[in-house]
Structure 1
Amino acid sequence: MKPFIYNGLPSRAIFGQGTLSRIAEEVRELGCHRAVVLATPEQAGQAREVLAKLGELGAGVFAEARMHTPVEVTDAAMRHIEEFDADCTVAIGGGSTIGLGKAIALRTGLPQVAIPTTYAGSEMTPILGETRDGLKTTQRTLKVLPEVVIYDVDLTLGLPVGMSGTSGINAIAHAVEALYAKDRNPVVSLMAEEGIAALARSLPAIAKNPSDQDARSDALYGAWLCGACLGSVGMSLHHKLCHTLGGSFDLPHAETHTIVLPHAVAYNTEAAPEAMARIARALGSSDAAGGLYDLARAVGAPLALADIGMQESDIDRATEIATSNPYWNPREIEADGIHRLLCDAFAGRRPTSREVLDA
């Protein structure tokens, strides 16, 4: 066994069905009495339901969370936090809402309860990405890690098939990069492979039958593991590209991760053979990059950046942004290779490692 370092994260996770009923108890255990419930406009109704469950512990609702955590939205939320005299936040939703809770925690130190309703995994990470003036920046600090996460499978039963597929593959991306991270370790690698396998078997089942409770439970379990991977080790090329495309070109988060992932894996294939073997095994495929592309196609996810709003003229600018600051990756970051990667992702071509490397 090679030497390694594993850092456990100080968060409490509650998993099951009907677990939302514990919300008031969990807020009280944190020593809090005035919780503000956060949500997107689309999930305002769910936020009000959570507020009702909180009873006297609920202070109000702020349902204006937006994708990529724009600082102007956080500023507006901060005014409500002060108005409500809040002593904690409860975020119900996906990465947009949980990101807002993290942004508030960074500025105030308020404890957080996260209630994920998608498979994005942000709830398990000490990572915050914020967008200001069209640029998305990311920081890692325990200040933004939610203290409590409530996983309630019942809350995912109504998640649309399309969103289920893309948020699930977004979660897989965390585990994929954990397997070739610079600071990877055996514990996280076990979680990563298990998380990929759980999502790879459950997402196609959900696409066929969205009410399949066993598949929904497997998917949420896999998302939890993948999120924990993202929170424990560093990420590389894939996440850098997706932050660039999302923050600078306002592309939808989960769809962008879904489309880019097979191509980023293809780029790194020959530099990380052990990781690629584990990814392929978890997918039940002979090829990691191709297997990820086939999974996206099987769940009906978009396959091309052109289909989610990117313009071909944006590829040069995206390449420039993604290569402007050095960051670790198993394969050296080369502008020509990144440009070809983005061209392939833009067109939605099925990737192979040799196709990218020999371009």
Structure 2
Amino acid sequence: MASFEYNGNPSRVIFGSGTLSMLAAELARLEVCTPLFLSTPEQQGPTLELAKSLGARADHLFAEATMHTPLHITEKALGVANTCGVDSFVSLGGGSTIGLGKALSVRTGLVHICIPTTYAGSEMTPILGETVNGLKTTRRDPAILPTTVIYDVDLTLTLPAMMSATSGINAIAHAVEALYAANKNPIVSVLALEGIRPLARSLPTLVSSPSDISARKDALFGAWLCGFCLGSVDMALHHKLCHTLGGSFNLPHAETHTIILPHALAYNAPAIPEAMQKLAEVLPDSDGDAIKGLNVLLERLGVRTALKDFGLTEEDVTKAAEIALSKPYPNPRTLEMASIQELIRRAWVGEKARADL
């Protein structure tokens, strides 16, 4: 076995059904009592209900979390936090809300408790992606990592089928890239495969039976492991493309990850034969071909596979390639402008991924 380095992320995790009831005890354990609750506008109702159940005032809610964590939203939330004199943050929702919580916590040094309602995985990473003037940049710092994560399977039961599907593929993308990261290691590789396996198995069930509690547990557990992988090793081409498309073109996060994943994997396939083999083993119906396995999975989920459906224009394809390659992440295969542009074009049209880039 080759030498390697491994750094574990120290978040406290509470996992199960009905675990939301443990929030009050967790706040007490951390010796905080005046949290600012965070949500998107769509989840304002449930979040306000949670806040009031703990005796918080209605003005201790900031319900303007937005995808890609734009700086002006963070600064507005900071103003609310300062006015209210809060001593902690509680984020209830997906990647947009959790990203805002991370941005606030790292700036203030205050406790941050995450309660994920999707499979985004952001809650398990010391990574913060922020958008300023149409450009999304990321930074990694242990101080960004949330203090506690409360996974309550019950909160995912109302997640719509298509959102479950794309959020789950987003999680799988974290683990796929961890298999061939520049600083990969055998511990994270094992966790990546064990995260992908239950997600690939459970997501088709959730599309047809969204209230299947067993499948929900599998998906949430898999998402936890996949998110941990993202937070433990470096990102590569897949995430760079998604950050570019999201931050510069305002494409939706999970849907963009879903579309780009098989194409980015196809691009890197010639340079990562071992990772491709291991990935194929945990993807149903792959027949030994990981790219085929992902294509089949997306077909079974019925997700949209064309970036043009979400507002990207044909003229944007070249610009996206140029932005992505201007400051690239480490990648196992050398990045070639013509091939990356073709990759994005295929994703724009909605073609099936194939290994001929």
State the TM-score, normalizing by the size of structure 2.
0.97
Counting matched residue pairs gives 355
Give the equivalent residue in structure 2 for 1:60: 60
Give the equivalent residue in structure 1 for 2:148: 148
1:57 deviation in Å? 9.4
In 2: Cα distance, 1:134 partner to 1:174 partner: 23
Aligned alpha-carbon RMSD (Å) = 1.2
Deviations 1:148-170 (A, max 9, x none): 00000000000000100000000
Contact 2:235 2:329 in 1 (8 A): no
In 1: Cα distance, 2:69 partner to 2:336 partner: 29
Contact 2:161 2:207 in 1 (8 A): yes
Give the equivalent residue in structure 2 for 1:104: 104
1:326 deviation in Å? 3.8
Give the equivalent residue in structure 2 for 1:83: 83
Deviations 1:115-171 (A, max 9, x none): 000000000000000000000000000111001000000000000001000000000
Equivalent position SS for 2:163 = helix
Q: Does 1:158 align with 2:175?
A: no
How do 1:100-179 and structure 2 match up within 5 A? 100-179=100-179
Equivalent position SS for 1:337 = helix
Equivalent position SS for 1:10 = coil
In 2: Cα distance, 1:49 partner to 1:12 partner: 24
How do 1:1-359 and structure 2 match up within 5 A? 1-55=1-55, 60-284=60-284, 285=286, 286-353=288-355, 355-356=356-357
Contact 1:121 1:223 in 2 (8 A): yes
Aligned identity (percent) is 58
Deviates most, 107-116 or 325-334: 325-334
Contact 2:237 2:328 in 1 (8 A): no
1:59 deviation in Å? 7.0
Contact 1:33 1:58 in 2 (8 A): no
Deviates most, 46-55 or 134-143: 46-55
Deviations 1:209-252 (A, max 9, x none): 01100000000000000000001011100000000000000000
In 1: Cα distance, 2:293 partner to 2:9 partner: 31
Equivalent position SS for 1:323 = helix
Compared CA separation, residues 14 and 321, structure 1 to 2 (3 A):
same
Equivalent position SS for 2:14 = strand
State the TM-score, normalizing by the size of structure 1.
0.97
Equivalent position SS for 1:89 = strand
Deviations 1:88-128 (A, max 9, x none): 00000000000000110121111100000000000000000
In 1: Cα distance, 2:223 partner to 2:99 partner: 16
Equivalent position SS for 1:218 = helix
In 1: Cα distance, 2:295 partner to 2:63 partner: 34
Compared CA separation, residues 143 and 57, structure 1 to 2 (3 A):
farther
In 2: Cα distance, 1:5 partner to 1:59 partner: 45
Equivalent position SS for 1:3 = coil
1:276 deviation in Å? 0.8
Contact 1:69 1:96 in 2 (8 A): yes
Look up the equivalent residue of 2:348 and give its one-letter code: F
In 2: Cα distance, 1:95 partner to 1:142 partner: 18
1:271 deviation in Å? 0.2
- List alignment gaps of at least 5 residues for structure 2: none
Moved over 2 A (4+): 52-59
In 2: Cα distance, 1:293 partner to 1:230 partner: 22
In 2: Cα distance, 1:148 partner to 1:100 partner: 15
Compared CA separation, residues 253 and 56, structure 1 to 2 (3 A):
closer
Equivalent position SS for 2:60 = strand
Contact 2:164 2:203 in 1 (8 A): yes
In 1: Cα distance, 2:263 partner to 2:336 partner: 14
Equivalent position SS for 2:54 = helix
1:56 deviation in Å? 5.6
